[in-house]
Copies of this chain bind each other. A is one copy, B any other.
Amino acid sequence: MRAARLHEYHQRLKLDDVDEPKAVGPFDVVVKIGAAGLCRTDLHIQEGQWAEKSQVSLPYTPGHENAGWVHEVGSAVTNVEVGDTVIVHPFISCGLCLPCRRGDDMHCVTGSFPGINRDGGFAELLQTSARSVVKLDPSLDPKDIAALADAGLTAIHAVKKAIPVLVPGTRAVVIGAGGLGHIGIQCLKTLTATEIIVVDPSEPALELARELGADHTIKVEGKRHIDAVQELTDGLGAEAIIDFVGENGAVEDGISMIQDGGFYYVIGYGQNIDIPTIDVISREISFIGNLVGTYVDLQDLMTLTAQGRVTLHTTTYPLDAINDAMNDLDQGRLQGRGILVPAGAG
């Protein structure tokens, strides 16, 4: 089958012909990819940022945001059948360790992460597990919902952590209204009554944010957006910063916009948090890490989507055009989430 593979860090992906994966273990599920989302993490993988953490050996196939149809199932799989439309939770967890039993799938002690540390979905077929597939209404088109599998999942996971903080009268600053941020805004809107302030350097991104319900949108330009947030919050800053960017100065900006006693949700990444502990204690501010989301988070998100409370904004590319898509993402030309579709899918 065809797969877009990384052979060397800092190089473009290559379109290779590789062997098809099989459902070998009793719980294996092989999914025919209908659509695979493109993530800023794929750029970071190409740049080698994940090389040490993932320990993956090259060449391999990225792509951790997948949806499609069940192609083959292992002997003990009962929750899906061949032909079912599914969205794929990005992590493969064991279901038996203590974190799994707590519902905290992402910290499974023996989990693996297709697209990060084993072959992912920039291909025609993907091997995953019965625990990682959510069966969907057959009328759904994978390319319309694939971006929920990681971008959406990560956004709702962080927003759900923020709910107890975001009581009426609070303000949340969303940094970045791109692939994740535009879903985060909708989750905030439907799950809280906080006032949503979106900052982004792109006018079309801010336009989208307004359509999706942002109460205030501010263009990032020098320190102007910081002043604007201070003005909107009587000089106090916002109770929550939800940072979908995490690079290019976003963290310093975010720290300047947070209220004493407030919470900073770290989602985007790239630069460092670097802050004197005296500020952390005298201002009593907290930084909350966020790693994708649980299977339950994905179910919640599918529910909100089915109810029409969350909708996706995407741009579609054929799988063979993956390097164009990666360039567009890198250059800030991608509106919403980029989606790759293998030839013949659908």
Contacts and interface: CB of A to CB of B under 8 A. Distances in A.
Nearest to A243: B277
A49 interface: yes
B98 A299 contact: yes
Interface string A172-210: 000000000000000000111101000000000000000
Interface stretch (A59-67, A99-107, A221-229): A99-107
B281 A290 contact: yes
Interface stretch (A137-145, A261-269, A315-323, A332-340): A261-269
A95 B100 CA distance: 10
Interface string A245-287: 0110001000000001100001111111111111011111111
A50 B281 CA distance: 12
Interface in A97-122: 98-99, 101-107
Contact of A266 (B247, B260, B281): B281
Interface residues of A, number: 73
A307 interface: yes
Contacts of A44: 278
A183 to B, nearest CB: 13
Given A102-B103, A261-B104, A286-B288, A273 B273 contact: yes
B300 A289 contact: no
Contacts of A313: none
A344 interface: no
Contacts of A272: 274-277
A294 interface: yes
A296 interface: yes
Contacts of A99: 261
Interface stretch (A6-14, A16-24, A161-169): A161-169
Interface string A282-314: 111111111100111001110110010100000
A190 B191 contact: no
Most chain B CB within a 10 A radius of its CB, from A102, A268, A280, A295: A280
B299 A291 contact: no
Closest 7 CB pairs of A and B: A103-B103, A269-B277, A284-B291, A168-B300, A169-B303, A280-B289, A284-B289
A130 to B, nearest CB: 7
Contacts of A79: 96
B287 A291 contact: no
A34 B27 CA distance: 32
A300 B102 contact: no
A311 to B, nearest CB: 14
A45 B123 CA distance: 57
